[in-house]
């Protein structure tokens, strides 16, 4: 048994020599703990089955084995990019929400998927009239109807229509037979403040925009089946705000994804909120002078879009330099490493890190390797 410690948490792996490195290793007990925590957090707000308010964004795990674990826990709704749709269907998911507005090729793929899987409920987003034009064209070609959300810009300024124009967009589609209005969507992914009060204040601003739009629909007696918001940093604040104001008239849902595996970037904001469940296992390939060593893992195996990795199983290790296949670390003078030694690396951005791996290794609660090679089915599709 080989034991590692990251921020005081023990990670154990038996027969570690059976794992080819670098490899992403997923610790099942940590994932199960994250699922249990998510349920508690949601139910502290809703006081009913918390998973009735959860739409897991699977861009983080991208894997059928992980999706089936979530399904087994009673989680029914999933948010997805187009890359993960087939994986979700193959895993048994019946309710899928596409995470961004579609262009023509993507819409055609979604339409074919609906025709081939009539038991699947697939929902799309519309954030402007051009999106509607694209979807109407494809719906006519494939003889389908779209269940759609209106995507609202609640402050991130990435996608979505201005709140004041939402109802007008809805009215322009209300009598178009190709469209069935499902709900309102607003993602506040711009809220990354470490200060909790600041995070709450900004969440209130964003959610108030959603509430104001919902109120307009209510005043015009237009039913809204679902209102969806939030990622892993704001899901509690957003759910609390929306639940208090509109849950008696619609299903309020949040759509976080990172929480399943967690990473050090989000842990810097919400320290200890979830467990770091997916880690990169690397090995030392060179021990140099001046207290430095090199591991066999560069940014092709850990997502560098948020900067270099920062948290390791060895205390005091720091990135000195990195490139595609190597990371050079500085080592405390008192530490001794040898060629072949193993090091666990916590991803700074786990979503992009997962996408870099063809397979992951699943570690059971006892440290035993449960599955040496589980495919990341939806990577690079």
Enter the DSSP assignment of 151.
E
The Cα 252–Cα 236 span in angstroms is: 12
Helix 196-219 × helix 166-173 angle, to 10°: 40
For 142, the 3-state DSSP assignment is: helix
**122 to 71, 117, 145, 244, 276: CA distances (angstroms):** 17, 10, 10, 28, 31
Q: What is the percentage of the chain residues whose pLDDT exceeds 90?
A: 97
Average pLDDT over residues 183-188: 97
At CA 152, angle to CA 146 and CA 156, rounded to 5?
Answer: 135
What's the confidence (pLDDT) of residue 381?
A: 58
Average pLDDT over residues 131-135: 98
**208 to 108, 241, 380: CA distances (angstroms):** 34, 8, 37
**Is the CATH code 3.20.20.10 the one for domain 29-260?**
yes
Show the beta-strand stretches assigned E in the chain.
2-6, 9-13, 23-27, 55-57, 77-80, 95-98, 121-126, 146-151, 179-186, 226-229, 251-254, 278-288, 292-295, 311-312, 318-322, 327-330, 342-346, 359-363, 369-375
Could you tell me whether strands 292-295 and 278-288 are parallel, antiparallel, or unpaired per DSSP bridges?
antiparallel
What's the confidence (pLDDT) of residue 135?
A: 98
DSSP helix, strand, coil percent of the chain (3-state; round to 5): 35, 25, 40
Q: What is the percentage of the chain residues whose pLDDT exceeds 70?
A: 100
> 20: Cβ–Cβ under 8 A, 6 or more apart, which residues?
none
Q: What is the distance between the terminal CA atoms of the chain, rounded to a whole angstrom?
A: 36
Per the structure block, which two tokens stand in for 201?
């204040």
Selected from 2.40.37.20, 3.40.50.300, 3.40.50.2300, 1.20.1740.10, the CATH number assigned to the domain covering 2-27+266-375 reads: 2.40.37.20
For 315, the 3-state DSSP assignment is: coil
> 161: Cβ–Cβ under 8 A, 6 or more apart, which residues?
127, 128, 150, 151, 152, 153, 169
pLDDT of residue 380 exceeding 90, the answer is no
pLDDT of residue 290 exceeding 90, the answer is no
Could you tell me whether strands 121-126 and 95-98 are parallel, antiparallel, or unpaired per DSSP bridges?
parallel
Could you tell me whether strands 278-288 and 251-254 are parallel, antiparallel, or unpaired per DSSP bridges?
unpaired
Average pLDDT over residues 267-272: 96
pLDDT of residue 233 exceeding 90, the answer is yes
What's the confidence (pLDDT) of residue 335?
A: 86
Paired strand residues for 3: 12
Domain segments of the chain as ranges: 2-27+266-375, 29-260
C-alpha of 257 from chain center: 2
Average pLDDT over residues 253-282: 98
Show the beta-strand stretches assigned E in 145-197.
146-151, 179-186
């Amino acid at each position: 048994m080989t034991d590692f410690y990251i921020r005081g948490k023990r990670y154990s792996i038996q027969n570690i020599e059976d794992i080819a490195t670098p490899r992403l290793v997923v610790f099942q007990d940590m994932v199960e703990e994250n699922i249990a925590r998510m349920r508690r957090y949601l139910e502290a707000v809703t006081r009913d089955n918390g998973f009735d308010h959860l739409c897991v964004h699977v861009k983080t795990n991208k894997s059928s084995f992980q999706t089936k674990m979530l399904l087994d826990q009673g989680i029914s709704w999933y948010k997805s990019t187009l890359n993960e749709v087939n994986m979700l269907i193959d895993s048994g998911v019946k309710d899928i929400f596409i995470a961004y507005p579609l262009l023509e090729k993507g819409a055609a793929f979604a339409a074919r998927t609906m025709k081939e899987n009539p038991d699947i409920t697939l929902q799309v987003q519309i954030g402007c009239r051009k999106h509607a034009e694209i979807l109407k064209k494809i719906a006519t070609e494939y003889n389908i109807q779209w269940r759609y959300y209106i995507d609202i810009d609640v402050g991130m300024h990435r996608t979505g229509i201005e709140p004041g124009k939402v109802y007008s967009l809805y009215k322009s589609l209300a009598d178009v037979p190709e469209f069935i209005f499902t709900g309102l969507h607003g993602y506040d992914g711009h809220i990354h403040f470490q200060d909790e009060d600041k995070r709450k204040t900004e969440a209130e601003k964003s959610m108030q925009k959603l509430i104001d739009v919902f109120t307009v629909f209510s005043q015009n007696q237009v039913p809204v089946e679902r209102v969806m918001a939030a990622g892993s940093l704001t899901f509690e604040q957003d759910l609390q705000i929306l639940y208090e104001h509109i849950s008696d008239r619609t299903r309020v849902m949040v759509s976080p994804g990172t929480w399943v595996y967690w990473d050090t970037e989000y842990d810097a904001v919400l320290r200890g909120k979830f467990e770091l469940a997916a880690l990169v296992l690397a090995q030392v390939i060179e021990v140099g002078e001046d207290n430095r060593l090199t591991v066999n893992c560069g940014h092709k195996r850990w997502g560098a879009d948020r900067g270099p990795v920062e948290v390791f199983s060895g205390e005091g290790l720091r990135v000195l330099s990195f490139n595609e296949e190597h990371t050079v670390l500085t080592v405390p003078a008192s530490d001794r490493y040898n060629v072949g030694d193993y090091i666990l690396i916590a991803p700074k951005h786990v979503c992009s890190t997962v996408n870099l791996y063809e397979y992951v290794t699943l570690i059971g609660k006892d440290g035993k390797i449960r599955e040496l090679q589980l495919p990341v089915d939806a990577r690079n599709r």
